[in-house]
Amino acid sequence: MLTVTKDKMLPTAIVGSYPRPHWYAESLRGRPFKVALADSIFREQYFDAVACILNDQARAGLDILTDGDARFDLDVGGRSWFFYPLERLRGVSGHSDKAPGWSKRLDLVPGQILAEVQEAYQAPTATARLGRGPLEYAAVWQVAQRMSERPVKFGAVSAQTLSSMLWPGVYADEAEMILELAALMNEEWREVAQSGCPVIQVEEPMHHFKAQNPQVSDRELEFLTEAFNREIAGVEAEVWVHTCWGNPNQQAMFWERPSYARALPHLAQLDCDVLTFECASSGGRDLALFADLPADKKIAIGVVSHTNTVVEPPEVVAALIRKALQYIPPERLIATTDCGFGREGLSRRIAFYKCVALVQGTNIVRRELGLDEAEVRAADARLAF
């Protein structure tokens, strides 16, 4: 299925979110995207913000761009990543200050920043059978792609991860609800692909988190694979799967990042073109494990961190890419960020220069690999700002 990255050597991209310009003060506030675009103030701010975010990435030299998840409201701790779909799916209502997934994974008490983030999330319940609703992902992507000649990637939360912020309610159990969500999201992803989107990123299937719990069986992990493959069945685009170790308010959910080891055999069975992994935060500790992943999948590694405000020197980025090349051939490697840059935790200036460092570090290695000098010079020229 690979199209966009098929013939590119070490393509570069960010995961998704990007800090808002300070003047972008409007939000959707639960409105359908197309309805909100009838609001002239929102429309102007949204279009201008997307244009700025795309321009920042293009100016930094990235090969594949994103709209920075500009559709998301400026909520506490990245809440809108979950709640953009939850506020628009049919059959969802109510609220609880305990989220199903978070409550099981994290022992949070007042006085911790993640406890404040969880309190803000107020997880709803499936009070009726779920229906698709006005997610309008295709329209969101089209707005951004019309503003750039470079491919624009569209990403959103996976069905099974939505279940960690939604109580099953009318469903017999979480598994039944996940399968319903997967069917609904499949319709949405197909529509995005049919609209012409070249790269679709499905974010955070739960394998790597669930695998940290020894009480979770391999059969449960296999179920997650089956559910994910249902979610993207028939999606005619280059499909990326993003995994990381969390990004609430740019906070690390695990101070010492866990290993992907147990989850990898299950992630390898996902029907996708690209698997992405958080690597900058761990210094690439798991890179050797990726050597055994199927050869038909590309590997995108995070080479700059989303939880650290210090901009990585290009030489540090290059060193991590070189380390990855000991296990992954260059034609299968993509350089990206550990996760999105969010809307609260990093400033736009820091995010921009992390993008610049990502490209500069990649260009160092491209030259070492003998990549066509004219192509590298063109990439460098984009950095002459």
- Whether 84 is covered by a domain: the verdict is no
- Whether 272 is covered by a domain: the verdict is yes
pLDDT tens-digit readout, 281-313: 999 999 999 999 999 999 999 999 999 999 999
Q: Is 155 helix (H, G, I), strand (E, B) or coil?
A: strand
Q: Which of 252-261, 321-330, 335-344, 376-385 has the highest mean pLDDT?
A: 321-330
CA triplet 10, 14, 15: central angle to 5 degrees? 115
The amino acid at residue 25 is A
Residue 333 has pLDDT above 90, yes or no: yes
- Whether 86 is covered by a domain: the verdict is no
In this structure, are residues 202 and 233 in contact, taking their beta carbons and an 8 Å threshold? Answer: no
- Whether 111 is covered by a domain: the verdict is no
Phi, then psi, of 74 in degrees rounded to 5: -85, 75
Residue 211: which CATH number? 3.20.20.210
Which pLDDT belongs to residue 246? Answer: 87
Number of domains in the chain: 1
pLDDT tens-digit readout, 57-72: 999 999 999 999 999 9
In this structure, are residues 205 and 299 in contact, taking their beta carbons and an 8 Å threshold? Answer: no
Domain carrying residue 332: 33-71+131-381
- Whether 363 is covered by a domain: the verdict is yes
Q: How many CB atoms lie within 10 A of CB 207?
A: 26
For residues 268 and 74, what is the distance between their CA atoms, to the nearest angstrom? 35
- Whether 233 is covered by a domain: the verdict is yes
Which two structure tokens, joined as six digits, stand for 170? Answer: 């009318």
Global pTM reads 0.95
- Whether 230 is covered by a domain: the verdict is yes
Q: How many CB atoms lie within 10 A of CB 202?
A: 24
For residues 337 and 121, what is the distance between their CA atoms, to the nearest angstrom? 25
Residue 101 has pLDDT above 60, yes or no: yes
- Whether 122 is covered by a domain: the verdict is no
**Model confidence at 195, in pLDDT bands (50, 70, 90)?**
very high
For residues 123 and 165, what is the distance between their CA atoms, to the nearest angstrom? 5
For residues 269 and 183, what is the distance between their CA atoms, to the nearest angstrom? 19
